[in-house]
Amino acid sequence: MEKSKLTDPFEKARLETGLGEMNDQNDPVTMLLRHKDVRKSAHNYKTFQSGATPGRIVIPSEVDIRDTRQIPFEVDPPEHKDYRAIIEPWFRRPLQAEYEKKLTAIITSIVEHALTKESIEVVTEFSLPLQSNALTLLINSDASEAETWISWGTHVFRSEGEALDGDKATVLYDYIENQIEEAINNPSENLFTKLVNSEFQGRKLTKEEIKGIMVLTFAGGRDTVINAVTNSIAYFSEHPESLQRIQKEPEIIGNAVEELIRYFSPLTQMGRVVTEDTYVCEHAAKANSRVSLCWASANRDEKVFENPNEIILDRKINPHVGFGFSHHNCLGATHARQIMRILLKTLSNKIQSIDILDYKENIEDLDQFKRKVGYDSIHVKFNPKTI
């Protein structure tokens, strides 16, 4: 259990040039590291495009393992807006009281189960089941579907050891295609049925479009939620006083969630394809090359955040870009925030402390930078509050 000292691998490059370089499957990426440049480029969808070849804006690139365009994520304005309008209200359901109640029940039962164990592996026995059970609410499917989704592991496109895995993607695609047929033949109240009945610019969505929306729903909020939850458990195990503070001052939970998202930045970066020769930080960026918006670096930018490498639970001014920025900001953010809020509340009410027994960090290799994004595994013991 070797602890990395790599709190912010981007600091030096961000200060010196504002850029990083990484090779990804011979399709190099120029990484934008400064908060200002990241936000500016995220906004400029004409020069920095999302709707290129499906999979190309993801790093590592997924062009070799999928053809399905994820929607609305891999579509640029103006179409982006019309797709997003179809699903945005659905993705705000997590704010409804009934939804919140069900999510609280799911999280409470997972925390209570953890309390019965002498040792629990957080990634597979806590965060993954939490993510998948919570997703049944977002999709409004039967609770029993979670078991199938859990069996897919922490990433739907990568197998153990993080290698991209086309066969694994096929499992997800088959599942989604079956569910679309099921929604056509046996309509229910779930998201598949909702999409089958939805219209885009005056016509029904095609099956391929529905598939693109559902792939994003399954893939986009998976490892990110799992890393946010797992990293938070690790943080609270090192800082039991933060749990006590949240219990005493529940009004800081909203700020605390934003701060944890800023600090952990569960999604390191997202790419864009350059549409015309341009410059980023005085560096030429050629048409058809890739840049990335490095949320993780922007979120530690010392020009924007005071003491960026500290978790300040009640940080007031927090313009983090952990959920992206501009048109493509995270569709699942409402759901993710609710998960985190309820998790913090539940932990602070039930847990006295958490002992770390053993762990293996998950270090992302970005060539020039090595970044701790989460854990491959972390065994802990949860200790209950006695009063």
Residue ranges that bind ligand EMZ, judged by CB under 6 A: 58, 62, 70, 73, 157, 216, 219-220, 223, 267
CB of 58 to ligand EMZ, least distance (A): 5
Q: Which is nearer to ligand EMZ, 220 or 322 (by Cβ)?
A: 220
Q: How far is the CB of 164 from ligand EMZ (least distance, A)?
A: 9
CA 77 to chain centre: 22
Report the residue number, 111 or 373, with the smaller CB distance to ligand EMZ: 373
User: Closest separation between CB of residue 38 and ligand EMZ, Å?
Assistant: 15
Distance, in Å, from the CA atom of 272 to the CA atom of 254, rounded to the nearest integer, reads: 31
**Half-sphere exposure of 268 toward its Cβ, with a 13 Å CA cutoff?**
19
Using the minimum distance from each CB to ligand EMZ, give the nearer residue, 33 or 216: 216
- Residues 91, 332: contact at Cβ < 8 Å? yes
Strand, helix or coil at 358?
Answer: strand
What value, to the nearest 5°, has the Cα angle with vertex 106 and ends 154 and 184? Answer: 70
Q: Give me the least distance between CB of 332 and ligand EMZ, in Å please.
A: 8
Indicate the residue among 18 and 54 with the shorter CB distance to ligand EMZ.
54
Name which of 218 and 247 has its Cβ closer to ligand EMZ.
218
Query: What is the smallest separation between the CB atom of 327 and ligand EMZ, expressed in angstroms?
Result: 13
Taking the least distance from each CB to ligand EMZ, the nearer of 75 and 351 is 75
Nearest-approach distance from CB 217 to ligand EMZ, in angstroms: 9
In the complex with ligand EMZ, the residue whose CB is nearer, 18 or 271, is 271
CA distances from 26 to 60, 166, 290 (A): 11, 19, 11
CB of 378 to ligand EMZ, least distance (A): 20
Q: Is 202 helix (H, G, I), strand (E, B) or coil?
A: coil
- Residue 121's alpha-carbon distances to 110, 114, 257, in angstroms, are 13, 9, 23
Does residue 279 sit in helix, strand or coil? strand
Smallest separation (angstroms) from ligand EMZ to the CB of 348: 29
Q: Compute how many other C-beta atoms are within 10 angstroms of the C-beta atom of residue 167.
A: 8
CB closer to ligand EMZ, 158 vs 372? 158
Contact 230, 128 (CB under 8 A): no
**Cα angle vertex 128, ends 375, 224, to 5°?**
60
User: Whole-angstrom Cα distance, residue 325 to residue 177?
Assistant: 31
Residue 259's H or E segment, with its range, is helix 253-264
Query: Are the C-beta atoms of 376 and 227 separated by less than 8 Å?
Result: no
What SS3 state is found at 277? coil
